[in-house]
Structure 1
Amino acid sequence: MERKSVFTSLTKYSFIGVILVIILAGCQGANGAPISADSPGFFDHYFVYPFSVLIKGLASILNGDFGLSIIVITLLVRLVLMPLMLKQMKNSTNMQEKMKVMKPEMDAIQEKYKGKKDKESQMKMQQETMQLYQKHQMNPLASLGCLPMIIQFPIFIGLYYAIRRTPEIATHNFLWFNLGQTDVIMPFIAAAVYLIQAKVSQIGMDPKQKKQMALFSFISPIMIFIVSFNFPAALPLYWIVSGSFLVLQTLISKKLYLKKAE
């Protein structure tokens, strides 16, 4: 029961994220056309275009190095959002600890109504479960927190489209690849980084929970791997930098909050 409640909450937030991505992607009325000050649409004007200007401005300071500009801006955005993300991770860790304390009582409720599928029994089980949550001052939705997710999605989608729709980026090289062309190596690196991030996020989970999350840990790496083969190398570069920062951020949060919880 407790895992069902937690993963139901996570699923709801996943749907929120997907809906936001779809809505924001739908705001791109220009269908991937180069972004400019004259591009129509609220999201283009207030999110995509400012990031495009920032990328070009920083690149000019860095001797025209658009690859380094993308790296610096991605890291800056991640640093700005880091306090929110760490708070979300702290809340999630606290929630997991409360769930461990509640587990014996939760198991007792499950055992009490085991095999009872009638509507009345199910309602009573839900009521007793809610009373148990209230007793331990536990709110999975509040503990997970959707505010950081709501804030970060427009920012990262804006940065994503700025990279994709700034034509100057495509004319420059960085390291061994052209930023405007696909690269056969970058998708493998991007997928590996997000696979590591998924594994790092499972540190401290109990074995059963890790088993439940095993399949989900491959979803993001596989999606990023496939998409990276069909988009200019500037985008997997962005994903590699962002994902690497996430690995470090997750390790920091685990070190800070898991020790306190023990």
Structure 2
Amino acid sequence: MLIGLTVLLAGCTEINEPITADSEGIWNTIFVYPLSWVITKIAEIFNNSYGLSIVLVTVFIRLCILPLSMKQIKSSKAMQEIQPKLKELQQKYSSKDATTQQKLQQETMELFQKNGVNPLAGCLPIFIQMPVLIAMYHAIMRTTEISKYEFLWFQLGSPDYILPILTAGFTFLQQKLMMSTNTSVQQNPQMAMQMNIMLYMMPIMIGVMAFFFPAALALYWVTGNIFMVFQTLLINKPLMAKSNTGGDKK
């Protein structure tokens, strides 16, 4: 998805065309111009601080998708709890013939539904953020006031060298926190090895890509990652405490 995003951003033909209320096309009308308008209007409230506006818009977007993130975490917890039953099904239907595998899939889905597990829950927040991320890129580059604005030590429309490091660092911290609360990963050596590889590879990939993106996009990413760190700490602890209490009662 990251590679696809890079190709998409690099190949956009409208990137040099200013975004206005008269810009045509569904993409410009529904995504790019409204986002540019919101960033501009919020910036006007804070003495034309477009950097602060991007931070506030990012927090607002994260708050909007918070219910989906909570659903994702709860689904992940439920998945951890049914791992023993899932292994039993896999052992019961270990044969590779089509009939047995179909029966395995059927009973696996029934197990998921019974315990409130949604395998796609982890993808929904990402899929929702993808068009927002691309629209943010367009809004930054096609709105002169945003792209030329200097915030803190960097210009929003130009690449920066510190923000990518911060982006990689907070991505690593976020993934580390999520791994520490995922007991199914800790109990599965193969999965733990794969997650450890991703733990280091993902921040490096995102950090390298951020060096080529405008600083405003890296600012959006850093702010979102910081939000996710606090979200993980605030949401996972109550869920873990509830889970431990349930385990003690058993």
TM-score band, normalised by shorter chain: 0.7 to 0.9
Task: Give the Cα separation in 1 of the matches to 2:173 and 2:204.
Answer: 13
Task: Give the Cα separation in 2 of the matches to 1:173 and 1:22.
Answer: 24
Residue number in structure 1 paired with 2:69: 85
Q: 1:220 to 1:65 in 2, by over 3 A?
A: same
- Counterparts of 1:1-262 in structure 2, within 5 Å, are 29-100=13-84, 102-106=85-89, 108-109=91-92, 113=95, 120=97, 123-128=99-104, 130-131=106-107, 133-134=109-110, 137=114, 141=118, 144=121, 147-205=124-182, 206-207=185-186, 208=188, 209-262=191-244
CA-to-partner distance for each residue in 1:167-220, whole Å, 9 max, x for gaps? 212222111222232222111111111111111121222323332212223343
Q: 1:245 to 1:32 in 2, by over 3 A?
A: farther
Number of residue pairs matched?
Answer: 238
Task: Give the Cα separation in 2 of the matches to 1:194 and 1:90.
Answer: 21
Q: Which structure 2 segments of 5+ residues have no match?
A: 245-250
Task: Give the Cα separation in 1 of the matches to 2:151 and 2:31.
Answer: 25
Secondary structure of the residue that 1:215 maps to in structure 2?
A: helix
Identical-residue share of aligned pairs (%): 35
Q: Which structure 1 segments of 5+ residues have no match?
A: 1-13
Task: Give the Cα separation in 2 of the matches to 1:176 and 1:222.
Answer: 23
Task: Give the Cα separation in 1 of the matches to 2:122 and 2:164.
Answer: 31
CA-to-partner distance for each residue in 1:113-153, whole Å, 9 max, x for gaps? 4xxx6xx3x53244245335535735754563655444443
Secondary structure of the residue that 2:106 maps to in structure 1?
A: helix
Residue number in structure 2 paired with 1:6: none
Q: What is the deviation of 1:27?
A: 10
> Is the Cα–Cα contact under 8 Å of residues 140 and 147 in structure 2 kept in the other structure?
no
Task: Give the Cα separation in 2 of the matches to 1:181 and 1:26.
Answer: 15
Task: Give the Cα separation in 1 of the matches to 2:8 and 2:32.
Answer: 11
Residue number in structure 2 paired with 1:4: none
Task: Give the Cα separation in 1 of the matches to 2:15 and 2:74.
Answer: 39
Secondary structure of the residue that 1:55 maps to in structure 2?
A: helix
Task: Give the Cα separation in 1 of the matches to 2:108 and 2:217.
Answer: 46
* Amino acid of the structure 1 residue aligned with 2:181: G
> Is the Cα–Cα contact under 8 Å of residues 59 and 69 in structure 1 kept in the other structure?
yes
Q: 1:165 to 1:199 in 2, by over 3 A?
A: farther
